[in-house]
């Protein structure tokens, strides 16, 4: 069974491949397929549309697409599905500015992993709840990790490092659900 | 010649149909086609992809798709192509907060109008330069109009009203270019 992850994000690939190795699956990075992302408030819609572009005919291998976002309740879900665009424009600084006098700092990261293969399309979801820090802390991870403190911890994802992040992150949860499904259905 | 504008935004339709009437063209609102917008930093790419979904075979009528955005230099182009998502989440309030102590308040609105018809696909572009106001003013227009002051004016688009906006706005410029082309080529 070959499983290709259509992504050019090395941070995501590292996290996903570490998880799937627990299930004996050697994930391969696929940079040849172009991941077409539509604009939508729903990660499920974005992932389904991206998969439809790849698996528009019978396939013999498995292809994986993932999309995720940081949803901040005080900001009505912003930056949500547009987290990577927001990260590269207004960045962590912008989020902290928007949250400067927020009463509610709660937020969640959500990941949707889409799989297409010989037996069709399936989606797997992972969520981790937490809150937005008042300043960036830590150097691990990527994106908004330095300002996200998962529930039950006092450190940010960037401080906790990959080992802890891969126990509880949204992406870890979604890829673990994928790993379990693949073990049972390949 | 029938010209359909694929949009569900009544404000955009009102502006566009007013402009095209100057050219003797009666624009029709098309809410049946679904406008599929991809995620991209480029309005041209978004509009081209949306058109490709509508005109994937020979057509006898004209179809128009438009996308626009507010590009704020201090914020590296944010909110750009995601202006409508940003408007409905963090809104005008969020933009003003991000710009609170900005040294450079310059910004521009850009509109890309895509046309497909019997003779293929064409794009028309309109830009208006200006700056971000320090507080919202006026009740006309929609979206970020209350905080955009076009160059050479001291009032916002929302204060200037549709007549003036339709003389100088990004969308007016792009639709005027479309009107002229249609007059010469139908």
The domain ranges of chain B are 3-185
**Where residue B186 falls among pLDDT bands split at 50, 70, 90?**
low
Strands A3-6 and A27-30: parallel
The model carries a pTM of 0.90
**Where residue B185 falls among pLDDT bands split at 50, 70, 90?**
confident
- 3.30.365.10, 3.40.47.10, 3.40.50.720, 3.90.950.10: CATH of B3-185: 3.90.950.10
Scanning B48-67 for CB atoms below 8 A from A yields 49
Q: What is the pLDDT of residue A7?
A: 94
Looking at this predicted complex, what is its ipTM?
0.86
Q: Average pLDDT of each block of 10 consecutive residues along chain A (186 residues)?
A: 92 94 95 90 95 85 96 98 96 98 97 92 97 96 95 97 92 97 86
pLDDT in tens, B121-151: 999 999 999 999 999 999 988 899 999 999 9
What CA–CA distance (Å, rounded) separates B30 from A97?
Answer: 40
Q: What is the pLDDT of residue B59?
A: 84
Q: Is the Cβ of A90 closer than 8 Å to some Cβ of chain B?
A: yes
Q: Over chain B, what is the mean pLDDT?
A: 94
Nearest CA in chain A to B36: A38
Contact B38 A37 (CB under 8 A): yes
Q: What is the pLDDT of residue A58?
A: 81
Q: Is-contact B82 B69, C-beta < 8 A? A: yes
Catalytic residue among B30, B41, B67, B163: B67
pLDDT in tens, B166-175: 999 999 999 9
Contact A77 B94 (CB under 8 A): no
Q: Is the Cβ of B94 closer than 8 Å to some Cβ of chain A?
A: yes
Position B78 pLDDT exceeds 80: yes
Contacts of B90 in chain A (CB under 8 A): 75-76, 78, 98
Across B109-133, b (16+ Cβ under 10 Å) vs e yields bbbbbbbbbeeeebbbebebebbbb
Cis peptide before B79 (omega within 30 of 0): yes
What CA–CA distance (Å, rounded) separates B79 from A92?
Answer: 15
Report the share of chain B in percent with pLDDT over 90.
83
């Amino acid at each position: 069974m070959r499983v290709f992850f259509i992504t050019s994000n090395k941070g995501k690939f590292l996290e996903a491949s570490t998880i799937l190795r627990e299930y004996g699956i050697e994930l391969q990075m696929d940079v040849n397929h172009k991941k077409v992302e539509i604009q939508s408030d729903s990660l499920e819609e974005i992932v389904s549309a991206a998969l439809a572009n790849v698996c528009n005919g019978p396939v013999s291998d498995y292809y994986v697409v993932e999309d995720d976002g940081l949803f901040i309740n005080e900001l009505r879900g912003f930056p949500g599905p547009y987290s990577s665009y927001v990260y590269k424009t207004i960045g962590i600084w912008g989020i902290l500015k928007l949250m400067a006098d927020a009463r509610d700092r709660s937020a969640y990261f959500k990941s949707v992993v889409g799989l297409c293969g010989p037996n069709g399309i399936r989606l797997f979801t992972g969520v981790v709840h937490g809150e937005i820090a008042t300043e960036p802390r830590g150097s691990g991870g990527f994106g908004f990790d330095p300002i996200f403190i998962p529930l039950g911890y006092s450190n940010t994802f960037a401080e906790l490092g990959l080992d802890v992040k891969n126990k509880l992150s949204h992406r870890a949860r979604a890829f673990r659900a994928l790993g379990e499904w693949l073990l049972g259905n390949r």
